[in-house]
A = this chain, B = another copy of it.
Amino acid sequence: MHHNFVLLTDFMASNSIGEILRITSFGESHGSAMGGVIDGFPPGIEIDINFIQKELDRRKPGQSSIVTQRKETDKIDILSGIFNGKSTGTPIAFIVKNNDQRSRDYSTIADIYRPSHADYTYHKKYGIADYRGGGRSSARETLVRVAAGAFAKLLLKKKSINILAFSHTIGTLTINSKNQIFTNEIIESNPVRCPDNKMAQQIITMLKKLAKEGDSIGGIVECRISGVPVGLGEPVYEKLSANLAKAMMGINAAKGFEIGSGFEGIRMKGSEQNDSFVIIDNQIKTQTNNSGGIQGGISNGEEIVFRVAFKAPASISRLQKSVDKSGNEVEFSVKGRHDPCVVPRAVPVVEAMAALVIADHYMRNSINKTFE
């Protein structure tokens, strides 16, 4: 076959997110280190390194039997921006070394465009295909987000803003989360981060079966943010809901985002959908929360509730068909142990991205009294 596609070369800008609290991410999954720079972090904030390390541990591989066993300690090393345990207002740079860089046996698949991976699009866009396990498109990059998000959580804690995500659905196994209250403890009490322990056991059984079959499955993470004051979000293009959507859809394998009543809610009539205002304890509240805590793009003081859909991981060990770089149709299978579902490890990533968006908008909203 003489398929001869053109190798465009392009570059990869846009590794930053946030307007005032701004994160820049770097590193490849099989390079020497991943890392990030946090610019705009306020001075004088106590930095609890243990907390940040614990957040990274929630994401790291090998933490349980149902996730990939890549051996990484994922220890954070902070290079700047902190002095005597407090932030100084200067950029906070951190790195996490990649220990498990040994070349696994990628040689057999080095020339194959793996289905639903980024091999093909990266190769066509950048003229370079990283055969060492995904390079920059690897989900390993999400550790930068988790670390940066942990710093953001330290800020939000000072304002009693709390972020809690959990596995809402995996495959066909789903919980009814509506009007239920969950704690971090219950969520972290099982390796799939499902707040219903019975359902968690079913999920674990299913995931083990899938792993054995060399297959994988998708799911939904639900995230709730409490304590958000009225006023976060900047119309018209920088709505809080819009920036949450962007942050979530930028996570690997994300296929959908919905807030409040979301996709299901489209069947509701306005008279059912509308969240009536009421007075409770001398406070203006809404009777229902179909808005998911955001109205007109601005937080209304109610709990922010959104969900993110993740597809099944593309890395499966079953035999697959594809095309190689020379344009030949091939059959192949990927060796190694992969996550049968991204959802459990996506939970801290969703929380981290939410923390970054909320902290950034909190600071944007703080400009309000400048000329009063």
Q: Among the interface residues A17, A141, A263, A316, which one has the most CB atoms of the partner chain B within 10 A? A: A263
A88: B residues at CB distance < 8 A: 12, 28, 126, 128, 130, 135-136
Cα A91 to Cα B35 with chains together (Å): 11
CB of A13 to closest CB in B, whole Å:
4
A292→B260 CA distance, assembly (Å): 24
**Shortest beta-carbon distance from A109 to chain B in Å:** 13
CA distance A252 to B239 in the complex (A): 10
A121 contact set on B, CB distance < 8 A: 230-231, 233, 295-296, 298-300
> Is A186 part of the binding interface, using a Cβ–Cβ cutoff of 8 Å?
no
A283 to B248, CA, bound (A): 32
Q: Which residues does chain B contribute within 8 Å of A295, judged by CB atoms?
A: 116-118, 120-121
Q: Contacting chain B: which of A49-57, A66-74, A197-205, A210-218?
A: A210-218
Once the chains bind, are A26 and B91 in contact (CB under 8 Å)?
yes
Q: Indicate with 1 or 0, residue by residue over A320-351, a CB within 8 angstroms of chain B CB atoms.
A: 11110001010000000000000000000000
Most buried by B among A32, A115, A218: A115
Give residues 74-104 of A contacting B (CB, 8 Å).
79-81, 83, 88-93, 95
- Residue-wise interface mask of A (1-39) relative to B, using a CB-CB cutoff of 8 A (1 in contact, 0 not): 111010011111111110010101111100111110101
Instruction: Sample 19 A-B pairs with CB under 8 A, ordered by A number.
Output: A10-B42, A11-B42, A11-B43, A14-B235, A15-B90, A27-B91, A32-B80, A43-B127, A116-B295, A118-B296, A122-B296, A155-B371, A171-B266, A237-B247, A245-B245, A246-B246, A255-B260, A276-B321, A279-B327
CA distance A363 to B9 in the complex (A): 14
Q: Select one of B39, B126, B243, B290 contacting A43, CB under 8 A.
A: B126
- CB contacts (< 8 Å) of A267 on chain B: these are 171-172, 217-218
Instruction: Tell me the A284-326 residues at the B interface (CB within 8 Å).
Output: 284, 286-287, 290-292, 295-300, 309-316, 318, 320-323
In the complex, the answer to whether A10 meets B368 with C-beta atoms within 8 Å is yes
| Contact partners of A279 in chain B: CB under 8 A | 1, 3, 323, 327, 329
In the complex, what residue of chain B is closest to A258 when comparing beta carbons? B256
Contact string against B for A residues 216-250, beta-carbon threshold 8 Å, 1 for contact and 0 otherwise:
11111000000000110111111101111111111
